[in-house]
C-alpha cells in the first residue's frame, strides 16, 4: 500500500529509463489497484507486464468494495495470491488462497502463488509441513498444464523486513526451492516440476539479489520494498541476464 497514481506514474517513468529490454528477462510490475489503469496506459510493453496485488475469488456478486479477477482480466497478465501480508494481516486461509488461485486461472490470469513459513513455524521445525500444506492446497483443483504455467514464490515470512525478519542464507533457500519442486514432481511428474517458475522473495535488495538469482532452480525474484526505489530495482533487474546466460551455459 504505497504510492498514489501520480507517484506510481513517476516511478514507472524512471524504471523505463533505467531498465534495458532484456530478451530472456520478464519484469512484472504490481502497482496498487488505483494505479493499475494509469500504469497500463504508460508502460512500455516490450519491457514490462502488469500484476494485481490481490483480488476476490468470486467473479461477481454483492461483495461491496471488492474487485474480482474477472474485472482484472483485460488489464493484467498476473496476480499475486497468498502474499505473506494477506496471510498475516488478513488471516487468509489455505482454502481462500486455493479459491483465489482457481479464480485466477479461470479468468486467464497467471497466479503468482506465495508460500512460506513464520519464524515460529521455522523454530518448531515445521518448514516442510507448512510449504507442503500451502502448496498442495493451493494447486489441488488445477490440471498439470495449469500448474506448469503458474509462478510460485517462496516467501519465508521470517526473512521479510516488514516483520522484522532476518536475512535468509542462500543455502537454506536452495533447500526450500528444491523441496517445492520435489513436491510438484511427486504429484504431477518431472516435466511439470521443471516447467514451473520458482521465485525467491524475502526482502531482496540490489546487494544480495545476485546470490539468490544464482541458486539452482531459482527463476527470479519477488521484490518488495526495494521495488519502490528505481535505482535499486533497476540494478536488480539488470543483474538477471547475467545469471540467465550462466544457467543456460551450465544446462540448467
pLDDT digits (tens, 9 = 90+) for 68-116: 999 999 999 999 999 999 999 999 999 999 999 999 999 999 999 999 9
Helices (H), 84-143: 84-89, 94-106, 119-123, 127-138
* Alpha-carbon gap, residue 225 to 118, rounded angstroms: 19
pLDDT digits (tens, 9 = 90+) for 129-184: 999 999 999 999 999 999 999 999 999 999 987 777 788 899 999 999 999 999 99
- How buried is 221 (Cβ within 10 angstroms: 0-12 exposed, 13-18 middle, 19+ buried)? buried
pLDDT of residue 106: 97
- DSSP, collapsed to helix, strand or coil, labels residue 91 as coil
Q: Is the pLDDT of residue 247 over 90?
A: no
pLDDT of residue 7: 98
pLDDT of residue 36: 96
- More confident position, 128 or 250: 128
| Residue 83 is a catalytic residue | yes
pLDDT of residue 73: 94
Average pLDDT of the residues of the chain: 93
Q: Sorting pLDDT into bands at 50, 70 and 90, what band is 249?
A: very low
pLDDT of residue 217: 93
pLDDT digits (tens, 9 = 90+) for 185-202: 999 999 999 999 999 998
* Alpha-carbon gap, residue 42 to 239, rounded angstroms: 24
Q: Which of 92, 146, 155, 235 is the catalytic position? A: 155
CA 109, chain centre distance (Å): 13
Fold of the 5-249 domain: TIM Barrel (3.20.20)
Q: pTM for the complete prediction?
A: 0.94
What residues contact residue 40 under an 8 Å CB cut-off, 6+ apart?
A: 50, 75, 76
pLDDT of residue 161: 77
pLDDT of residue 244: 66
Taking a C-beta distance cutoff of 8 angstroms, is the pair 80, 51 a contact? yes
Q: Cell triple for residue 90?
A: 488478513
- In the sheet that holds 78-81, the strands lie side by side as 27-29, 48-52, 78-81, 110-115, 151-154, 197-200, 220-221
Q: Which of 83, 92, 117, 243 is the catalytic position? A: 83
Q: Is the pLDDT of residue 120 over 50?
A: yes
Taking a C-beta distance cutoff of 8 angstroms, is the pair 31, 80 a contact? no
Q: Sorting pLDDT into bands at 50, 70 and 90, what band is 248?
A: low
Q: What percent of the chain has pLDDT over 90?
A: 87
| Residue 22 is a catalytic residue | no
Enumerate the domain spans of the chain.
Answer: 5-249
Amino acid at each position: 500500500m504505497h504510492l498514489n497514481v501520480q507517484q506510481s506514474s513517476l516511478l514507472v517513468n524512471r524504471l523505463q529509463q533505467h531498465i534495458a529490454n532484456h530478451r530472456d528477462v520478464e519484469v512484472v510490475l504490481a502497482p496498487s489497484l488505483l494505479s493499475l489503469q494509469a500504469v497500463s496506459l504508460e508502460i512500455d510493453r516490450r519491457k514490462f507486464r502488469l500484476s494485481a496485488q490481490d483480488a476476490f475469488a468470486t467473479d461477481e456478486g454483492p461483495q461491496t468494495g471488492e474487485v474480482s479477477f474477472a474485472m482484472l482480466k483485460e488489464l493484467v497478465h498476473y496476480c499475486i495470491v497468498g502474499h505473506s501480508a494477506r496471510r498475516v494481516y488478513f488471516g487468509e486461509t489455505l482454502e481462500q488462497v486455493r479459491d483465489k488461485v482457481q479464480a485466477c486461472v479461470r479468468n486467464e490470469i497467471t497466479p503468482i502463488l506465495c508460500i512460506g513459513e513464520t519464524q515460529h513455524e521455522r523454530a518448531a521445525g515445521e518448514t516442510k509441513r507448512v510449504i507442503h500444506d500451502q502448496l498442495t492446497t493451493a494447486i489441488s483443483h488445477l490440471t498439470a498444464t495449469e500448474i506448469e504455467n503458474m509462478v510460485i514464490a517462496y516467501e519465508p515470512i521470517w526473512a521479510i523486513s516488514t516483520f522484522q525478519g532476518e536475512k535468509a542464507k542462500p543455502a537454506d533457500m536452495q533447500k526450500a526451492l528444491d523441496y517445492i519442486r520435489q513436491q510438484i514432481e511427486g504429484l504431477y511428474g518431472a516435466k511439470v516440476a521443471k516447467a514451473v517458475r520458482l521465485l525467491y522473495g524475502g526482502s531482496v535488495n540490489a546487494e544480495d539479489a545476485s546470490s539468490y538469482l544464482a541458486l539452482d532452480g531459482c527463476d527470479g525474484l519477488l521484490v518488495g520494498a526495494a521495488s519502490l526505489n528505481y535505482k535499486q530495482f533497476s540494478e536488480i533487474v539488470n543483474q538477471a541476464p547475467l545469471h540467465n546466460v550462466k544457467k543456460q551455459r551450465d544446462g540448467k
